[in-house]
A and B are shown apart, each in its own frame.
Chain A
Amino acid sequence: MNGLLRSAVVIVGLSLAAAMVIALLQLPSAAVHLPALVAENLAQSGVEHPVTAVLLNFRGWDTLLEVAVLLLALLTLLTLGGGKAPAPAAAVDPLLQGLARRMLPLIVLTAGYLLWAGAHRPGGAFQAGAVLAAGAVFLQLAGLLPAWTAPRRWLRLGLVLGFLVFLAVAAALLGQGALLRYPPALAGGLILLIEAGLTLSLGLILAGLFLFLTGRDA
């Protein structure tokens, strides 16, 4: 039975791969050309970097739901908690700790830069949040930050703040006619507001994915 499944999967996989390769090689040009549309509307989007414009404006709805996905993953990890206290951090090389202490301001600065840069060039809330989270993970590994248990209220607030800001902006604009339809004059400011909230919350959530898990059942 297992051998049968294995051969079936291999055969289906190989034929699927072959079919897809053939399909890709004979594809005509696409009928719709979105890069032109993006470029045309970039001036009204409130930012200059096309990817940020798609992420926060043209397809901001995807991004809103995606933040919900992250929150949800964290929430489910919390249901698995069982409330056991995490093991205390193991003794760590003091050299590493010193390095981590010195790195901390640099990490925060990098995140801030990425957040600000996102409007004009590659960067933005997701990259900035990821850098913050990486910093938190690093601190934990250096023994400077304990693993997290059940989140207290202030931490819960930090986790959801970015999402709540995003949701509030969406709701306020819905009152004006359409979900997330930024008035062009305010678009830049609103996007920066959302991104600032998201940077903090995404940093906490992404860090939380690691810090709520680590040391729990080791």
Chain B
Amino acid sequence: MNLAFDLLLILALSWSAWRSLATPDLTRAVVMFIVFGLLMALAWARLGAPDIALAEAAIGAGLTGALLLDALGALQARRGEKKEDA
């Protein structure tokens, strides 16, 4: 039972990591990354590391997620104004 959960969690981790790097839409990529962070927190709990789980949820998913979303807004805001976007 536990092994099945672990395998499922690892599958979900790998999938969300892959999607956050490969999905063409940047907003969706950031959302996938936040999901990845929350899944990481679960993984830490499974490894008997509640301290890391707490920190991962608050910092890894929460704060990093907020930073990423905010940066996303800033990077996409100028799309219309400047044409030379790569």
Determine whether A and B are in direct contact in the complex, meaning some CB atoms lie less than 8 angstroms apart: yes
Measuring CB to CB, which residues of chain A are less than 8 angstroms from any residue of chain B?
51, 114, 122-124, 126-127, 130-131, 133-134, 137, 141, 206, 209-210, 213-214, 216-218
Query: Are B59 and A206 in contact, CB atoms less than 8 angstroms apart?
Result: yes
Measuring CB to CB, which residues of chain B are less than 8 angstroms from any residue of chain A?
49-51, 54-55, 58-59, 62-63, 66-67, 70-71, 73-74, 77
- State in angstroms the CA–CA spacing of A127 and B62 once bound together: 12
Partner of B63, one of A51, A209, A214: A209
- State in angstroms the CA–CA spacing of A218 and B54 once bound together: 31
A122-B50, A217-B74, A218-B74 as given contacts; A130 in contact with B67, CB under 8 Å? no
A122-B50, A127-B51, A131-B58 as given contacts; A213 in contact with B63, CB under 8 Å? no
**8 smallest beta-carbon distances between A and B, as pairs:** A130-B58, A122-B50, A122-B51, A127-B54, A218-B74, A51-B51, A214-B70, A130-B59
- Which residues of A have CB within 8 Å of B51? 51, 122-124, 127
Partner of A210, one of B50, B58, B63, B77: B63
Partner of B66, one of A124, A137, A216: A137
- B73 (CB) vs chain A CBs: closest residue: A218
Query: Are A127 and B55 in contact, CB atoms less than 8 angstroms apart?
Result: yes
- State in angstroms the CA–CA spacing of A62 and B66 once bound together: 27
Besides the known contacts A122-B50, A127-B55, A127-B58, 15 further A-B residue pairs in the complex with CB atoms under 8 A apart:
A122-B54, A123-B51, A123-B54, A126-B55, A126-B59, A130-B58, A133-B63, A134-B58, A134-B62, A134-B63, A206-B63, A210-B67, A213-B70, A213-B71, A218-B77
- Which residues of B have CB within 8 Å of A126? 55, 59
- Which residues of A have CB within 8 Å of B49? 51
- B52 (CB) vs chain A CBs: closest residue: A51
A and B contact pairs by CB, cutoff 8 A, 25 listed? A122-B50, A122-B54, A123-B51, A123-B54, A124-B51, A126-B55, A127-B54, A127-B55, A130-B54, A130-B58, A130-B59, A131-B58, A134-B63, A137-B63, A137-B66, A141-B66, A206-B63, A210-B67, A210-B70, A213-B70, A213-B71, A214-B70, A216-B74, A218-B73, A218-B74
- B77 (CB) vs chain A CBs: closest residue: A218
- State in angstroms the CA–CA spacing of A206 and B55 once bound together: 12
- A138 (CB) vs chain B CBs: closest residue: B66
A70 to chain B, nearest CB (A): 11
B7 to chain A, nearest CB (A): 16
- State in angstroms the CA–CA spacing of A214 and B55 once bound together: 22
- B59 (CB) vs chain A CBs: closest residue: A130
Query: Are A209 and B62 in contact, CB atoms less than 8 angstroms apart?
Result: no
- Which residues of B have CB within 8 Å of A141? 66
- State in angstroms the CA–CA spacing of A126 and B63 once bound together: 13
- Which residues of B have CB within 8 Å of A210? 63, 66-67, 70
- State in angstroms the CA–CA spacing of A168 and B58 once bound together: 29
